[in-house]
């Protein structure tokens, strides 16, 4: 189905500036014209549309709010709107942009040296180089503080050993931001493809995020110069601060996936007839559609307030957790309801809700699972941590 109309029941458009609306609409057209025609094939084949990466760079969609050489330094609200439109296309497209911008460019811009910024930021912003972010390990997902990957001092450099699992863009990346335990605490390193001892492996058989590369990073005595270390990144707080940026983008992004599900189900319900009437005339179908538009509207309000607070310098961890937790669960519920309204047609890839539903299972888990975010917000309101 084409001709997406957008979902704006509460006129949030009136709260956006001309620049915000214009960028949002440009990304919406890009997704309609350049991305959506190919997504079914990429999802079936388990491939990412590599040919679109230069266009993502030219349009300024890679790290739009990052500040530094070659970067645009736009507002958080604009970054959010971009994520929303990309994820209306597919969570894999938004994931690519999240990792590149929030998890690779952002830590380089905040924790890197001037040389690291000059070398990497313009290339990453333009999409000429691709990055990935290695925090999770096979035995340390929700608890990254237990990481076993280690970097030891070796003369004037470092020796890196260990592995990272479930890494988005692992097999596409020219550079990996890798978090490792050192004698001085957790540190971040820029590990480049081709360095002896650094290899990557593809994870096959995903039923979710199929149009996204996911893999493993393996470090076997990788010799790194000291200039590969991000000198400003000290302790677990450094990788967790990157997650805060990416989780913010996810909170917006999944609203786009939910909007696409709602829009698809609404139009189907107006056209599909049973008992000689459009199914949209039945009370139970209307109830599902109303639930969807209500929950999308509430999530849009959360995002806009979160974005305005971020742009005012308030980017509080529990606020981001509340929005990521609420909005991903909301989008997953919308995808399931839309799939239901489509009946049997909903189980094929002729329609998008089944694809969004499968993708959102990953989004529910990555960047902190739904329950981890429950416990982050729980700790904030009770003053009692469930973790330590
Ligand atoms: P804890 O003691 O709570 O924190 C250690 C230090 O870090 C600070 N901190 C944060 N700072 C900035 N942003 C955040 N989000 C932060 N969360 C914590 C904290 O204040 C403390 O600072 P300090 O100064 O006292 O040292 O750490 P903990 O070990 O108890 O763990 C807490 C927990 C469970 C909340 C945390 O580890 C967590 O968030 N776990 C979830 C792990 C996760 O989200 N992994 C994501 C991996 S990347 C990914 O999934 C990419 S998907 C990419 C895509 O395709 O889009
Ligand atoms: P676990 O931590 O083993 O959790 C399993 C279950 O136990 C969950 O339900 C969880 O909520 C629950 N649980 C755990 N601890 C608690 C607790 N204290 N209280 C209550 N319940 C708890 N990581 C990266 O570093 N970089 C990436 O680019 C990246 N990309 C990803 C892409 C995909 C497609 C996926 C699926 C994952 C990706 N990840 C990435 C990893 C992701 O961040 C982890 O999967 C996530 O943090 C959860 O870790 P885990 O899978 O080991 O689950």
What is the DSSP code string of 116-138?
HHHHHHHHHHHTSS-EEEE--BT
Domain count of the fold of the chain = 3
Do strands 185-192 and 175-182 pair parallel, antiparallel, or not at all (unpaired)?
antiparallel
Which pLDDT does position 234 carry in this prediction? 95
Q: Which ligand is nearest to the CA of 91?
A: 1
- Is 367 assigned a catalytic role? yes
d(C-alpha 310, C-alpha 182), whole Å:
32
The half-sphere exposure of 296 on its side-chain side, counting CA atoms within 13 A, is 30
Domain CATH code at residue 163: 2.40.110.10
Report whether 147 contacts 140 (CB < 8 A). Answer: yes
Best residue among 203, 240, 306, 374 to mutate for probing ligand 1's pocket (most ligand atoms within 8 Å of CB) is 240
CB-based pocket (< 6 A), ligand 2: 99, 133-136, 141-142, 166-168, 209, 214, 362, 365-367, 369, 371-372, 375, 386-387
Q: Give a three-class secondary structure readout of 305-346.
A: HHHHHHHCCCCCHHHHHHHHHHHHHHHHHHHHHHHHHCHHHH
244 by Cβ neighbours in 10 Å (0-12 / 13-18 / 19+) ranks as: buried
Closest ligand 1 atom to Cα of 243: 15
DSSP, collapsed to helix, strand or coil, labels residue 197 as coil
The tens digit of pLDDT for each residue in 92-129 reads: 999 999 999 999 999 999 999 999 999 999 999 999 99
Q: Which ligand is nearest to the CA of 254?
A: 1
Which pLDDT does position 129 carry in this prediction? 98
Domain boundary at 207, 228, 249, which?
Answer: 228
Question: Which is nearest to 66 in space by CA: 130, 128, 124?
Answer: 124
Which pLDDT does position 4 carry in this prediction? 87
Atom 52 of ligand 2 has which residue's CA nearest to it?
A: 141
The tens digit of pLDDT for each residue in 156-187 reads: 999 999 999 999 999 999 999 999 999 999 99
- Indicate the helix (H) or strand (E) that contains 19: helix 18-30
Enclosing domain of residue 203: 131-228
Q: Would you say how long the chain is, in residues?
A: 388
Domain boundary at 195, 228, 261, which?
Answer: 228
CB-based pocket (< 6 A), ligand 1: 95, 98-99, 133, 135-136, 142, 144-145, 168, 235-237, 240-241, 243-244, 246, 317, 366-368, 372, 376, 387-388
Q: How many angstroms from the chain centroid is the CA of residue 77?
A: 15
Would residue 388 count as lying in a domain?
A: no
Whether 203 and 262 share a structural domain: no
Q: Look up residue 274 and give its DSSP letter.
A: E
d(C-alpha 164, C-alpha 175), whole Å:
14
């Amino acid at each position: 189905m084409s001709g997406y109309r957008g979902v704006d029941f509460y006129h949030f458009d009136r709260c956006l500036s001309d620049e915000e609306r214009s960028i949002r609409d440009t990304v919406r057209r890009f997704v309609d014209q350049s991305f959506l025609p190919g997504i079914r094939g990429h999802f079936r084949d388990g491939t990412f549309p590599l040919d679109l990466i230069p266009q993502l760079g030219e349009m300024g969609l890679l790290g739009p709010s990052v500040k530094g050489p070659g970067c645009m330094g736009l507002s958080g609200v604009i970054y959010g709107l971009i994520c929303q439109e990309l994820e209306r296309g597919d969570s894999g497209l938004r994931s690519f942009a999240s990792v590149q911008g929030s998890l690779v460019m952002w830590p380089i811009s905040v924790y890197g040296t001037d040389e690291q910024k000059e070398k990497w930021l313009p290339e990453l912003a333009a999409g000429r180089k691709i990055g990935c972010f290695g925090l999770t390990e096979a035995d340390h997902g929700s608890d990254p503080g237990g990481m076993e990957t280690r970097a030891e001092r070796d003369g004037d450099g470092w020796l890196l050993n260990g592995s990272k699992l479930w890494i988005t863009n692992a097999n596409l990346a020219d550079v990996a931001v890798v978090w490792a335990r050192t004698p001085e605490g957790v540190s971040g390193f820029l590990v480049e493809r081709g360095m002896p001892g650094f290899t990557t492996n593809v994870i096959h058989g995903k039923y979710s995020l199929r149009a996204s590369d996911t893999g493993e990073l393996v470090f076997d005595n990788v010799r790194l110069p000291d200039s590969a270390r991000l000198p400003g990144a000290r302790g677990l707080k450094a990788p967790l601060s990157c997650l805060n940026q990416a989780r913010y983008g996810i909170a917006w992004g999944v609203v786009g996936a939910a909007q696409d599900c709602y829009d698809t189900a609404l139009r189907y319900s107006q056209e599909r007839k049973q008992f000689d009437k459009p199914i949209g005339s039945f009370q139970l179908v209307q109830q599902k559609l109303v639930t969807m538009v209500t929950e999308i509207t509430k999530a849009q309000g959360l995002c806009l307030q979160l974005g305005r607070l971020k742009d005012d310098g308030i980017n509080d961890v529990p606020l981001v957790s509340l929005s990521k937790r609420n909005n991903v669960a909301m989008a997953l519920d919308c995808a399931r309801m839309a799939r239901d309204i489509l009946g049997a047609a909903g189980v094929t890839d002729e329609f998008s809700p089944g694809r969004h539903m499968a993708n959102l299972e990953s989004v529910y888990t990555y960047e902190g699972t739904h329950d981890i975010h429950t416990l982050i917000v729980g700790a904030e309101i009770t003053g009692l941590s469930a973790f330590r």
